[in-house]
A = this chain, B = another copy of it.
Amino acid sequence: MNVELINTGSELMLGRVLNTHQQWLCRRLADLGYIVTRQVAVADTGRDIETVVREALSRADLIITTGGLGPTSDDITRDLIAGLLGKKLHEDATIVRHIEEYFLARKRPMPFRTRVQAQVPEGAIVLPNPHGTAPGLAIEVTNELELKPQDGGMHSLKSSRFHPSSSLSKKLLIMLPGPPRELRPMFDSSVVPLLQRVMPLSGGYNCRTLRTSGIGESAVEEKVGALLKPLVDQGLDLGYCARIGQVDIRLAAHEKRGLLLIHEGEAIVRTQLADYIYGEDDEPLESVIVRLLRERRKTLALAESCTGGGIAHLITNVPGASAVLLASLVTYANSAKQKFVGVRAETLATHGAVSEAVACEMAEGARRETGADYALSVTGIAGPGGGSDAKPVGTVFIALASASETVVLKQFNAFDRETFKNVTGTQVMELLRRKIR
């Protein structure tokens, strides 16, 4: 099955907004087994939208558009697609009532322009919008449909130079509104049941992601690539995704048989990469940390210098972090290191702020001052300034203090400033994970 996603909006092409629809819809669709084969973004001009919808109709079984259903003059998707498919529009009384009630509930006058959102192409299925005024629309298109001619000549889907990718007798074109808080609930409550009714999949699709830290992408492939090859030959879809300081290994396959391939693949990856694997699927490292600490009823404190609060920021993004994180002492200045986590002036003078000795004193001090079970510390040179021959930019010391011991690690993360903070944060959290897992 061919699935295409079309995102419209000039602000996308000018790079003024991030296209979060792509990830969200591709993810949701993939989890249901409908893998998006192509995603396209164009400006919301009639010509551009018409061209890409035409092309998609000639290739895909399922087409989803986002945006252009609102009330302003640049919202043209509904009219344009109706015109392209030769469908007349009529006003839907239920939608008009919904829009009126929407404004009534908010005690705001209903602008006249909003009424255009009640226009429905003939034969279209209305997808209700409980979080806004513009409903979604779904239209079943038959392969034999003759499109409104472009450039003079007749152009039918059947005689297109592209051939329909499957023997499905129907295509489905779904138009969704642009705002994510309207699109997302609409997808879950209306689009999913519609897909399962109109174009059910013969077999399921399964996906497993194993997430690693502390090993590079090529080293990962060297360890598992050859061993997984026989499974790939049998249909396992294997992917590597390198992120900053982390590599994900994705195992996916169709049908029930696929589950077995994924299962075998996972066993190989787990054996080969063992300690490097910090988690599965969507759980980021900071969530793993919070979960492990909660399960063990342990608390954590941080003393951050070069990461500047970045680690606390990640950990406090996890709901429930307050149950485990007592404090992060972002001791950027040397005076703050002395004052808040009790680093000694002699240690700073003898070893410098970026040193094993200071990292240890920071971790031990943070643990002592907060009463936490574990304390992590980090001190380093993020750059671009501040490096020396002995301690170049990228030098970093990480320590973990617990009841039994303090361990310290030296790393060299020669990256730009933000990547440095990111990679270092992963290493700091990973040091704790390996201690408490």
Contact = CB atoms under 8 A, between A and B. Distances in A.
Interface stretch (A5-13, A272-280, A401-409): A5-13
Contacts of A243: 17
B328 A330 contact: yes
Copy total for this chain:
2
10 contacts: A13-B36, A14-B26, A16-B241, A72-B221, A111-B216, A309-B330, A317-B417, A322-B386, A329-B340, A339-B370
Nearest to A339: B369
A92 interface: no
Interface string A329-347: 1111101100110000000
Nearest to A392: B105
Interface stretch (A39-47, A188-196, A256-264): A39-47
A48 interface: yes
A309 B320 contact: no
Interface in A61-81: 70-74
A421 B316 contact: yes
A18 B23 contact: yes
Given A179-B242, A332-B321, A327 B340 contact: yes
Q: Which 7 A-B pairs have the closest CB atoms?
A: A308-B316, A15-B27, A309-B312, A309-B309, A15-B26, A327-B336, A328-B330
Interface of A: 9-20, 22-30, 35-43, 48, 52, 70-74, 105-108, 111, 113-114, 131, 161, 179, 181, 185, 207, 209, 216-219, 221-222, 225, 237, 239-244, 248, 250, 252, 302, 304, 307-313, 315-317, 319-322, 325-333, 335-336, 339-340, 369-371, 382-386, 412, 414-419, 421
Nearest to A7: B39
Nearest to A332: B325
A181 B19 contact: no
A114 B156 CA distance: 48
B209 A16 contact: yes
Given A336-B326, A370-B336, A308 B319 contact: no
A248 B41 CA distance: 20
Contacts of A252: 14
B415 A131 contact: yes
A243 B73 CA distance: 17
Contacts of A328: 308-309, 328, 330, 332
Contacts of A179: 242, 244
Contacts of A41: 22, 38-40
Given A310-B313, A317-B418, A28 B48 contact: no
Given A39-B40, A42-B38, A74-B239, A320 B13 contact: no
A23 B27 contact: no
A372 to B, nearest CB: 9
A336 B383 CA distance: 30
B24 A221 contact: no
Contacts of A244: 179, 181
A320 B23 contact: no
Nearest to A39: B41
Given A71-B218, A73-B225, A307-B316, 13 more contacts: A12-B23, A13-B37, A22-B41, A40-B41, A108-B216, A113-B222, A161-B161, A307-B313, A308-B313, A312-B330, A319-B417, A327-B331, A329-B340
A13 B26 contact: yes
Nearest to A15: B27
Nearest to A320: B385
A20 B179 CA distance: 18
A239 B14 contact: yes
- Interface centre among A106, A241, A327, A386, by most B CB within 10 Å? A327
A48 to B, nearest CB: 7
B29 A22 contact: no
A206 to B, nearest CB: 12
A140 B261 CA distance: 43
B28 A15 contact: yes
Contacts of A225: 72-73
